[in-house]
Structure 1
Amino acid sequence: MTADLTRFPAFAGDWHAFLADAVGASLAAARNRLATLKDGSERTTAQVLGVWNQCDVALGRASAAAHLIAEVHPDPEVRAAAETGARAAEDLATERGLDHALWRVLAGTSADGLDTEAARLREHVLRDFRRTGVDRPEQERDLLRSLAQRCTALGLEFSRNIREGTRSIRVRPDKLDGLPDDFRAEHPAADDGLVTLTTEYPDLVPVRTYTHDAGVRGALTGEWLRIGWPQNAPVLAELLRLRAERATLLGYTDWPTYDAEVKMIGSGEAIAAFVERLDALTAEPARRDVRVLLARLRFDDPDAAVVTPADNLYYERVVRREQHGVDAQEVRRYFRYDAVRTGVMDTVARLLDLTFTPVDAPTWHPDVEVYDVASDGGRIGRVYLDMHPRPGKFTHDAQFPLVPGVAGRHLAEGVLVCNLPAGTLEHEDVLTFFHEFGHLVHEIVGGGQRWAAFAGVATEWDFIEAPSQLLEEWAWDPDVLRAFATDVDGTPIPADLVARMRAADAFGRGAWARRQLNFTALSYGLHAAPPEDLDAYTAEIDARFGPYTPLPDTHMSSGFGHLPEYGSAYYTYLWSLVIAKDLRTAFGEDLMDPEMGRRYRDAILAPGGTADAADLVERFLGRPTTFDAFEQWLTTPA
């Protein structure tokens, strides 16, 4: 295995040269491989697939580097250059898929004599060619190409408007009553006596959770729900329309039908059926939770008639404290970022038989940490942790692939991009860390494949959240937490507090699942039949699924950052959660059983995309997955 790893510039002035090499040169290499395939030479199927794989490696490296730097680099000019590179990579992928001569080369191969993985690759390549419309007349191919390229540009614009659209409010210091002392210390008043609060998560979540002043909660939540508006409204409308047009041209009834064909769920109709099933499961648990929240809200405000997104986090905390004996301020003092980072990495290392070694290497920002990952006596990859917010950076939490792990060619590299506080964390932040780190280790452990198309997190899109949602379970285990969750004096989090946290967590599950169902239905419905009025359609979804009454003059769809990438597939989160809860049953009472951890790693993570996700799950569980564990989790009373 080559030890080549990405070398980021050590000097600020070298970034454009880096992009020229990492993106431009890699795209040129990909084009050369495509030209080789079409040069008329006689090749066996194995040779054709080998050259195709070389193209996959080069295109994957270019696309990953460009998309990452466009989202994280502190220099807006570098971000803009990287975004141009990302668009070029997406355009080349589109052109490759619509190249009629290239398709004829692949279609002229035979599966005879291929091993299972090579046959799977050939099948997937031909399937993907068909889904681009490569077999259509030239005029239709040209139209499909222009539509795909425009969709790429729109998706990048939509994300950029969110990334660069941070909003803020300014309030008097006395309006911060209820917020933790460390938060208030980090937010001093300016010369005019006012404190600035932004819509970035380290401000937004504590304000929504702790601030007693309903006006402040409402003001900041409202600004958060206006991110991307009005710029993104026409961008999203055009993106939805063009996706629908592409699907129709390709012979599908709508975008969800086209998109779901290559996912576990299988069809657009299955998404709609999934929504209906979850509607029946979540309706009463959500109503029960909201009734409790509203009753407590009316204790403070007798005239209150509804619970809004400005109320739910605050009153969930109040109810858990008053009715379940869990004070979020007491909990958070056991979670300091540095200790959590170490604890998460140590837990995953023990569970999955990995080691993480710090590395001193240049990155795009001084906050970024680098670790080499090793297992079974050898290095298997490298990870980067970019964990705290800054201006111009990606505003959510995600794992970005950087280099596909291909046996004999490249070690896997992945990047964790989050927006966690650098000081004290909420337990929700700890869950986020475990979750996103789950994607990161999937990327690395799933590397080392023969074929780049199957490397890392390369399973069906609606399965990729399941391993990460499963890893969240470790953030609730008292033995796991005791190893790193300590107060400033070094006292571990008490076992009885963790037990109370687990019991209190049952409260609000119905409302949480219902809110996720709201997003799922919105994601699906926007694509199934793109509406004329985005806000009106969003209001219809809110009216049906709730569970909270929306704030006035907000525009949630314009800031729905998952829409460019997930499209109609936001259902992925709930679909994967059903699977994750089922996977959890295999671990029994001992979450740190090394034998089970290694078996899980080898069965679920290590194969990457070399097998269908349903088959991976069935091999691990010894049976097909069911809803049973999810339903039990959802309906467990608080």
Structure 2
Amino acid sequence: MSLPAPDGDWSAWLAERCSGALDRAAAQRDRLVVGDGDPLETWNTIGIHLADCLAAAGLLAQVHPDAGIRAEAEEAELAAERFRTALMLDDGVHSALAAVDPERLDPDARRVLAHSLRDLRRAGVDRDEATRSRLREISEQETTLAQAFSRGIREGRRSTQVPAAAVEGLPEDWVAEHPAVGGEVTVTTDYPDTHPFLTFSTDAAARRAVMTAFLDVGWPDNAAVLSELLDLRHEHATLLGHQDWPSFDAEVKMIGSGPAIGDFIDEITAAVGPAGERDLAVLLDRARQDDPAIERIDMASWRHYAELVRRERFSLDAQEVRSYFDFGKVRQGLLDVTGRLFGLTWERVVGAPTWHPDVATYDVAADGTPLGRIHLDLHPRAGKYNHAAQFDLVPGVAGVQAPEGVLVCNFPRGLMTHADVVTLFHEFGHLLHHVLGGRQHWVRFSGVATEWDFVEAPSQMLEEWAWDAEVLGRFATDEHGRPIPADLVRRMRAAEEFGQGYLARAQMFYAAVSYRLHLERPDDLDARVRELWEEYNLIAPLPGGHFFTSFGHLTEYTSGYYTYMWSLVIAKDLFSAFDPADLFAPEVARRYRDTVLRPGGSRDAADLVEEFLGRPYDSAAFRAWLEQGPGA
């Protein structure tokens, strides 16, 4: 797809991409209702136009450097959501699709018909007009509030002034990029600023100030936004006959029901509890060497003391590890690794127009056949989405348009932490899924279109390649070109396994917040989140932190943040099919590519996994991973 240059007319491009697409979709809707042409093919064309608009608007609202374009993109996204809501509540559309005889269709067409009719029912097309009218209002309000919540995080960037002495012990390149002014250093809430500071600074008060600012990015405005959004989602679900939002949301996920989410959270919490308490006690013992009065490890201290324990117990120095992960080498190494693994080539498109000069563009081919295009937007800037995610730009449809995806992250330009490397591999897994799964006939099943509690599994599995010494040795080299030693990678793995229990408990806390706030809709969100924190999270909160106002996953995952751990269970089982001694073995990698990634959403996730493994998935590999001790 042709994009404007960074200084081009993005407003006109966005208008054509969105308003033009919605006009074309409306014309196709009229064809569908009067019976002009094949109804399913017409429905698919409508879906393509709508998806084109939503992808472009959703991306530019998060990444374009011009605030005016971001605002226009939000308006375009809202218009597209209005159109989609009206379409899904349209009697004429429902009648046209309901009249299609499924017995005359091939399996893929039969599946898209069944899913479409289910989606229409879940939208409320079969409800009375008063209910449908209210659902239209709710849908628009939900979109507006979700945009406001995201905007509050994206544009809530903060800075903290800390004493110059507080940066002693931080990496030399970090210190060079943060010169002291008047005896103080500025630390922003951007990841490359905050996370190294929390890890290496020995100034406990400064760490607390920096962490509080990081947690409070969306405070206080997002608290009221979220409260209203929770109430609207509840009303939405009950109007459609469900007891609550989690029950409505889980109906189309692998987990199947709302109460099952709570059961899963508590099951995992119990399973990881002993390991988490054991490892956190080690951090606390180490912290008391510095301050005997410390009672708990909190959000401002856990990274710091985890680093000290890694250094002293596992002979692992994070600054030594960083010296092997130059951003440019890591980016190219990732492309080389995934290219060899999945039979892909990544060709840099020099001079390709994009929204910002930082963006790197590549054309993708599989076994010599062109697949699509990717864009890597990997460094922080003002007004940009400030976490890490994959965004669609073009949904792939066989014979119509090639898939294009965008990786949006916030990494440093120089040396990366290994955690950054793992995050990059994880998010790139989503991009692979989008491109490899983007050759479907039906746009409904294009790319990452599986059940929402499976989408993280392929990404979490790809993380394993970021922990393998042979893999890392191909691109992780120091300034002299020496590859990272295998023994260092072994110690990195042991140190990572050391903290998996308390970090898993933190994940269950996030999942509980996601689930319980939607289920209960408490009047005092702050108080309820603190209760859940004490129940699920072993790491203590900070007195002034309001983390939930910057918890961006509440807009996209709603009540389903449990997805990350649910998917991890499957990811560990998927990885069990690979030989750890030869992670590049072509037969299993290509079989995984073709049976799990390429089908997109054209089959149920459980069936895709079963075909790849030769059996239904289970939790044996996940439980073995939980039970192994550090260094096992």
TM-score range, shorter chain: over 0.9
1:265 aligned counterpart, secondary structure = coil
Unaligned runs of 5+ in 1: 1-5
Alignment of 1:199-278 (within 5 A): 199-278=189-268
Moved over 6 A (4+): none
Cα distance in 2, alignment partners of residues 96 and 59 from structure 1: 10
Q: Quote the offset at 1:231 in angstroms.
A: 0.6
2:473 counterpart of 1:475: no
Cα distance in 2, alignment partners of residues 425 and 161 from structure 1: 27
Alignment of 1:299-378 (within 5 A): 299-360=289-350, 361-378=352-369
1:504 aligned counterpart, secondary structure = helix
Number of residue pairs matched by the alignment: 628
Aligned to 1:507: 498
Unaligned runs of 5+ in 2: none
2:241 aligned counterpart, secondary structure = coil
Cα distance in 1, alignment partners of residues 36 and 2 from structure 2: 37
Alignment of 1:407-486 (within 5 A): 407-486=398-477
Q: What per-residue deviation string (whole Å, max 9, x for no partner) do you get for residues 564-592 of structure 1?
A: 11000000100000100111100022111
Aligned to 1:41: 35
Letter in 2 for 1:313: R
Q: Quote the offset at 1:13 in angstroms.
A: 4.6
Candidates 595, 598, 604, aligned match of 1:606: 598
Aligned to 1:17: 12
Letter in 2 for 1:230: P
2:615 counterpart of 1:623: yes
2:106 counterpart of 1:118: no
Aligned to 1:633: 625
* TM-score with structure 1 setting the length: 0.97
Aligned to 1:173: 164
Q: What per-residue deviation string (whole Å, max 9, x for no partner) do you get for residues 284-329 of structure 1?
A: 1111111111111111111001110101111111111101111111
Q: What per-residue deviation string (whole Å, max 9, x for no partner) do you get for residues 531-589 of structure 1?
A: 11100110110110121111002211111110011000000100000100111100022
Aligned to 2:278: 288
Letter in 1 for 2:224: P
1:586 aligned counterpart, secondary structure = coil
Q: Quote the offset at 1:11 in angstroms.
A: 5.6
Cα distance in 1, alignment partners of residues 570 and 275 from structure 2: 20
2:378 counterpart of 1:387: yes
1:19 aligned counterpart, secondary structure = helix
Distance 1:587 1:13, change over 3 A: closer
Cα distance in 1, alignment partners of residues 568 and 578 from structure 2: 16
Aligned to 1:131: 122
1:399 aligned counterpart, secondary structure = strand
Aligned to 2:59: 68
Q: Quote the offset at 1:623 in angstroms.
A: 1.1
Q: What per-residue deviation string (whole Å, max 9, x for no partner) do you get for residues 95-135 of structure 1?
A: 11111221111112210210110000000000001101111
Q: Quote the offset at 1:378 in angstroms.
A: 2.0
Cα distance in 2, alignment partners of residues 564 and 319 from structure 1: 36
Aligned to 1:539: 530
Cα distance in 2, alignment partners of residues 358 and 609 from structure 1: 29
Identical residues among aligned pairs (%): 52
Q: Quote the offset at 1:193 in angstroms.
A: 3.6
Q: Quote the offset at 1:12 in angstroms.
A: 2.1
* TM-score with structure 2 setting the length: 0.98
Cα distance in 1, alignment partners of residues 164 and 235 from structure 2: 52
Aligned to 1:3: none
Q: Quote the offset at 1:527 in angstroms.
A: 0.7
Cα distance in 1, alignment partners of residues 573 and 474 from structure 2: 26
Q: Quote the offset at 1:42 in angstroms.
A: 5.8
Letter in 2 for 1:41: G
2:103 aligned counterpart, secondary structure = coil
Cα distance in 1, alignment partners of residues 471 and 300 from structure 2: 33
Task: Give the RMSD, CA atoms, in angstroms.
Answer: 1.0
Does the 8 A contact of 2:204 with 2:301 survive in 1? yes
Distance 1:551 1:413, change over 3 A: same
1:112 aligned counterpart, secondary structure = helix
Aligned to 1:583: 574
Q: Quote the offset at 1:209 in angstroms.
A: 1.1
